[in-house]
């Protein structure tokens, strides 16, 4: 008849309460979930607050962005509008025709790049494609047209006069 093996010495030296150990794991997991949920809620609240503030600022200001002489036909110019770090891009289509859009792709906000020679604006992140003349999405994942910068021509100067966001 064999004897039951004796528990190793380390178990006696360092006893582990397994039930308690599992309880701590669950508690840690719940803490983690609460932390992640809290961060998510804070992020959403920040976005809502930013949008609310943006709307409250009201009509965008009129800002001179270029002159006819500073931009050749087919050339592009990146500028900030309406605020610093709101990158937009101006494209001269012909002697008298200009278009400008927000440079943020409507998919995941990558910077779009105009290709005037092809009549399109491309988003290199996921091959999004927009029409250069209208800003409407042509291909890829972007769900909406690019927000259009309203332009005003005064003499030979080009002004940004607002942003038009379009749903489709
Ligand atoms: S961010 Fe532009 S297509 Fe995805």
Phi/psi at 97 (5° precision):
-110, 130
Q: Does residue 2 belong to any structural domain of this protein?
A: no
Ligand 1 atom index nearest CA of 128: 3
Q: Does residue 103 belong to any structural domain of this protein?
A: yes
- What confidence category does residue 8 fall into, taking pLDDT thresholds of 50, 70 and 90? confident
Q: Which residues form the pocket of ligand 1, taking CB atoms under 6 Å from any ligand atom?
A: 105, 107-108, 110, 123, 125-126, 128, 140-142
Q: Which of 124, 125, 138 to mutate to test the pocket of ligand 1 (most atoms within 8 A of CB)?
A: 125
Task: Calculate how far, in angstroms, residue 111's C-alpha sits from the geometric centre of ligand 1.
Answer: 8
Q: Are residues 81 and 40 in the same domain?
A: no
Ligand 1 atom index nearest CA of 123: 2
Q: Are residues 35 and 85 in the same domain?
A: no
Into how many domains does the chain fold? 2
The neighbour count for residue 135, using CB atoms within 10 Å, is 22
Residue-number span of the structural domain to which 150 is assigned: 63-164
Q: Does residue 97 belong to any structural domain of this protein?
A: yes
pLDDT, one tens digit per residue, over 47-75 is 888 877 766 655 568 999 999 999 999 99
Q: Are residues 41 and 96 in the same domain?
A: no
Q: Are residues 67 and 51 in the same domain?
A: no
- What confidence category does residue 137 fall into, taking pLDDT thresholds of 50, 70 and 90? very high
Task: Calculate how far, in angstroms, residue 123's C-alpha sits from the geometric centre of ligand 1.
Answer: 6
Ligand 1 atom index nearest CA of 106: 2
Q: Are residues 28 and 87 in the same domain?
A: no
CATH number for 160:
2.102.10.10
Q: Are residues 127 and 105 in the same domain?
A: yes
In the three-class reduction of DSSP (H, G, I as helix; E, B as strand; rest coil), residue 155 is classed as: coil
Assess contact for 71 and 90: CB atoms under 8 A.
Answer: yes
Q: Are residues 46 and 128 in the same domain?
A: no
Which is nearest to 102 in space by CA: 116, 87, 85, 123? 87
Give Cβ neighbours of residue 16 (< 8 Å, ≥ 6 apart): none
Q: Are residues 51 and 104 in the same domain?
A: no
Q: Are residues 149 and 89 in the same domain?
A: yes
Q: Are residues 68 and 52 in the same domain?
A: no
Q: What is the pLDDT of residue 80?
A: 95
Q: Are residues 103 and 138 in the same domain?
A: yes
Q: Does residue 110 belong to any structural domain of this protein?
A: yes
Lookup: tokens for 82: 């309406």
Whether the model clears a pTM of 0.95, i.e. scores above it, the answer is no
Give Cβ neighbours of residue 143 (< 8 Å, ≥ 6 apart): 106, 107, 137
Indicate the helix (H) or strand (E) that contains 29: helix 18-56
Q: How many residues does the chain have?
A: 168
């Amino acid at each position: 008849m064999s004897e039951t093996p004796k528990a190793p010495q380390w178990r006696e030296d360092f006893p582990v309460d397994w039930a308690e150990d599992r309880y701590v794991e669950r508690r840690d997991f719940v803490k983690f979930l609460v932390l992640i949920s809290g961060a998510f809620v804070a992020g959403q609240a920040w976005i809502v607050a930013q949008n609310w503030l943006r709307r409250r600022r009201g009509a965008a200001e009129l800002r001179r962005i270029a002159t006819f002489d500073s931009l050749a036909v087919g050339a592009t110019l990146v500028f900030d509008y309406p605020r610093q770090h709101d990158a937009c891009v101006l494209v001269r289509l012909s002697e008298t025709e200009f278009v400008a859009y927000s440079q943020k792709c409507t998919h995941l906000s990558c910077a779009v790049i105009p290709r005037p020679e092809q009549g399109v604006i491309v988003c290199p992140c996921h091959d999004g494609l927009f029409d250069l003349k209208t800003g409407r999405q042509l291909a890829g994942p972007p769900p909406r047209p690019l927000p259009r910068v309203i332009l005003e021509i005064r003499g030979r100067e080009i002004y940004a006069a607002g942003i038009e966001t379009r749903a489709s």
